[in-house]
Structure 1
Amino acid sequence: MSSRKIWSAHWIADERFVGLEPRQLLHKESDSPDNEAHRNDLKHTHMLVRKTFDLEASVRAAYIDISADDYYKLFVNGRFVGQGPAQGYHFHYYYNRYDLTEWLVEGLNVIAVHAYYQGLCNRSLNSADYRQGVIAELFCDGTLTVATDATWKYMQSLEYGTGEAATIGYDTQFAEHIDSRLKEANWRHLHYDDSAWKPACVRRESDCILQLQSTPSVDVYRVSPTKVETTADGRYLIDFGREITGQLTMIARGLSGQQLEIRCGEEWLEDSSGVRCELRCNCTYREAWTLSGGEDELEVYDYKGFRLAEVIGGVDAVQPESIAAIVRHYPFPEEACRFQSDDPLLQGIWDICRNAVKYGSQEHFVDCPTREKGQYLGDNSITAPAHALLTGDLRLYRKALEDFALSSRICPGFMAVAPGHLMQEYADYSLQWPAQLLQYYRYSGDRPFLREMAPLAVGIINYFRRYARADGLLRKGSDKANLVDWPPNARDGYDFPLTKPVIDGCHNVVNAFYYGAMQATNGIMRELGEPELYELASLAESFRRAFLDPSTGLFRDAEMSGHASLHANALPLCFGLVPRDQRDAVVAFLKEKKLSCGVYMAYFYLKALATAGEHEFVYHTIVSQEKHLVTAADVPGTNETIELTGYWANMLREGATTCFEAWSKRLKWNTSLCHPWASAPIPLLVEDVLGITPAEPGWTSIRFRPRIPRSMRDLTLVLTVATGVLTVRVRDGKAELQPPAGVSVV
Structure 2
Amino acid sequence: MQLHEYSFRMAQPVWETGTAHTMNRTVSFCTNIPLSDLPAGQQIRLAAAASCSFVLLVNGQFVAHGPARCAHGFFRVDEYDLTPYLTAQVNRVCLRTAGYNVNSFSYLNQPSFLCAEITAGEQVLAATGAGNARDFIAYGVGERIRRVQRYSFQRTMVESYDLRPGAFSYESDPHTAAVPVATETAEAGRFLYRDMPYSDNEILRPLRVIRTGHMRYSDKASYYDSREISAISDHFFGYRPEELDCASHIEVGRIDYDAGEETALPADVIPLPADGWADLDMGRNYTGVWALDIEAAGDGILYLTFDEVIHGTLNPFRMGTSNIIRIGVSAGRYRLTTAEPYVMRYLRLSAKGCAITVRDLRLYHIAFPATHITARFAGQDDAMHRIFDAAVETFRANTVDIYMDCPSRERAGWLCDSFFTSRVERVLTGRSDVERAFLQNFLLPEHFAFLPDGMLPMCYPSDHNDRTFIPNWAMWYGVEMGEYLTRTGDRAFTDSARERLYALLAYFAPFENEYGLLEGLKSWVFVEWSKSNELVQDVSFASNMLYARLLDTCGQLYGDSDLTGKAAKLRATILDMSMTESGFFCDNALRQDGKLVLSGERTESCQYYAFFCDIVTPESHPWLWETLLHDFGYDRATRGLYPEIYPANAFIGNYLRLDLLDRYGCREALYDNIKGYFTYMADKTGTLWENVGDYASCNHGFASHVLYWMDHLGLLTRDIPGKDTSAGGAV
TM-score (norm 1): 0.76
Does residue 172 (structure 1) correspond to residue 174 (structure 2)? The answer is no
Structure 2 residue runs without a partner (length 5+): 215-275, 590-596, 635-646, 725-731
Residue number in structure 2 paired with 1:545: 576
Residue number in structure 2 paired with 1:521: 554
Moved more, 105-114 or 414-423: 105-114
Counterpart mapping for 1:267-306 below 5 A? 267-270=309-312, 276-306=314-344
Question: Cα distance 1:552–1:408, how it changes in 2: closer, same or farther (>3 A)?
Answer: farther
CA distance in 2, matches of 1:254, 1:190: 21
Residue number in structure 1 paired with 2:140: 156
The letter for the 1-side match of 2:200 is: D
Contact 2:11/2:128 (8 A) holds in 1 = yes
The letter for the 2-side match of 1:555 is: F
CA distance in 1, matches of 2:85, 2:619: 69
CA distance in 2, matches of 1:4, 1:335: 27
Question: Cα distance 1:319–1:389, how it changes in 2: closer, same or farther (>3 A)?
Answer: farther
Contact 1:15/1:201 (8 A) holds in 2 = yes
Residue number in structure 2 paired with 1:49: 29
Does residue 686 (structure 1) correspond to residue 711 (structure 2)? The answer is yes
**Identity rate of aligned residues, in percent?**
17
Counterpart mapping for 1:270-419 below 5 A? 270=312, 276-313=314-351, 322-333=360-371, 336-406=374-444, 409-410=447-448, 411-419=453-461
CA distance in 2, matches of 1:323, 1:101: 25
Residue number in structure 2 paired with 1:623: 675
CA distance in 1, matches of 2:100, 2:373: 36
Contact 1:281/1:370 (8 A) holds in 2 = no
Contact 1:176/1:287 (8 A) holds in 2 = yes
The letter for the 2-side match of 1:557 is: D
Match of 2:45 among 47, 59, 63: 63
For residues 668-703 of structure 1, the C-alpha deviation after alignment (integer angstroms, 9 at most, x for no partner) is xxx11212233332222323x34xxxxxxxxxxxxx
Contact 1:9/1:147 (8 A) holds in 2 = yes
CA distance in 1, matches of 2:425, 2:402: 11
Contact 1:407/1:414 (8 A) holds in 2 = no
Query: How big is the shift at 1:340?
Result: 4.1
Question: Cα distance 1:332–1:448, how it changes in 2: closer, same or farther (>3 A)?
Answer: farther
Query: How big is the shift at 1:278?
Result: 2.6
CA distance in 1, matches of 2:422, 2:39: 43
CA distance in 1, matches of 2:3, 2:330: 45
Query: How big is the shift at 1:161?
Result: 1.3
CA distance in 2, matches of 1:680, 1:539: 29
For residues 541-599 of structure 1, the C-alpha deviation after alignment (integer angstroms, 9 at most, x for no partner) is 222233233x3443222242133322332122122221676421321342334352111
Residue number in structure 2 paired with 1:707: none
Residue number in structure 2 paired with 1:643: none
Question: Cα distance 1:470–1:534, how it changes in 2: closer, same or farther (>3 A)?
Answer: farther
Query: SS of 1:421's equivalent?
Result: coil
For residues 690-734 of structure 1, the C-alpha deviation after alignment (integer angstroms, 9 at most, x for no partner) is 4xxxxxxxxxxxxxxxxxxxxxxxxx5213798459xxxxxxxxx
Residue number in structure 2 paired with 1:607: 659
Match of 1:94 among 76, 87, 92: 76
Question: Cα distance 1:458–1:516, how it changes in 2: closer, same or farther (>3 A)?
Answer: same
Residue number in structure 2 paired with 1:703: none
Residue number in structure 1 paired with 2:718: 719
Residue number in structure 2 paired with 1:4: 5
Residue number in structure 2 paired with 1:25: none
Residue number in structure 2 paired with 1:138: 118
Question: Cα distance 1:577–1:166, how it changes in 2: closer, same or farther (>3 A)?
Answer: same
CA distance in 2, matches of 1:720, 1:437: 29
Query: SS of 1:90's equivalent?
Result: coil
**Aligned-residue CA RMSD (Å):** 3.2
CA distance in 2, matches of 1:224, 1:590: 45
Query: SS of 1:385's equivalent?
Result: helix
Contact 2:603/2:648 (8 A) holds in 1 = no
Question: Cα distance 1:384–1:450, how it changes in 2: closer, same or farther (>3 A)?
Answer: same
Query: How big is the shift at 1:358?
Result: 1.8
Question: Cα distance 1:15–1:569, how it changes in 2: closer, same or farther (>3 A)?
Answer: same
Contact 1:56/1:107 (8 A) holds in 2 = no
Query: How big is the shift at 1:123?
Result: 0.5
Contact 2:455/2:474 (8 A) holds in 1 = yes
CA distance in 2, matches of 1:614, 1:408: 45
Counterpart mapping for 1:373-522 below 5 A? 373-406=411-444, 409-410=447-448, 411-422=453-464, 424-477=468-521, 479-486=522-529, 488-489=530-531, 491=532, 495-497=535-537, 505-522=538-555
The letter for the 1-side match of 2:648 is: C
Contact 2:71/2:461 (8 A) holds in 1 = yes
Does residue 202 (structure 1) correspond to residue 182 (structure 2)? The answer is no
CA distance in 2, matches of 1:73, 1:482: 38
CA distance in 2, matches of 1:676, 1:540: 30
Query: SS of 2:626's equivalent?
Result: helix
Query: How big is the shift at 1:337?
Result: 1.7
TM-score (norm 2): 0.78
Question: Cα distance 1:49–1:547, how it changes in 2: closer, same or farther (>3 A)?
Answer: same
Does residue 664 (structure 1) correspond to residue 693 (structure 2)? The answer is yes
Contact 2:685/2:698 (8 A) holds in 1 = yes
CA distance in 2, matches of 1:56, 1:350: 48
Contact 1:10/1:204 (8 A) holds in 2 = no
Give the count of matched residue pairs: 626
Contact 1:413/1:430 (8 A) holds in 2 = yes
Query: How big is the shift at 1:240?
Result: 0.8
CA distance in 1, matches of 2:625, 2:17: 65
Does residue 16 (structure 1) correspond to residue 18 (structure 2)? The answer is yes
CA distance in 1, matches of 2:200, 2:38: 31
Query: SS of 2:286's equivalent?
Result: strand
The letter for the 1-side match of 2:415 is: L
The letter for the 2-side match of 1:683 is: Y
Does residue 254 (structure 1) correspond to residue 296 (structure 2)? The answer is yes
CA distance in 2, matches of 1:347, 1:14: 51
Does residue 241 (structure 1) correspond to residue 283 (structure 2)? The answer is yes
CA distance in 2, matches of 1:406, 1:720: 37
Higher relative contact order (CA 8 A, sep 6+): 2
Contact 1:599/1:677 (8 A) holds in 2 = no
Does residue 83 (structure 1) correspond to residue 65 (structure 2)? The answer is yes
Does residue 594 (structure 1) correspond to residue 633 (structure 2)? The answer is yes
The letter for the 1-side match of 2:544 is: N
Question: Cα distance 1:267–1:623, how it changes in 2: closer, same or farther (>3 A)?
Answer: closer
Query: How big is the shift at 1:132?
Result: 0.9
Does residue 651 (structure 1) correspond to residue 681 (structure 2)? The answer is yes
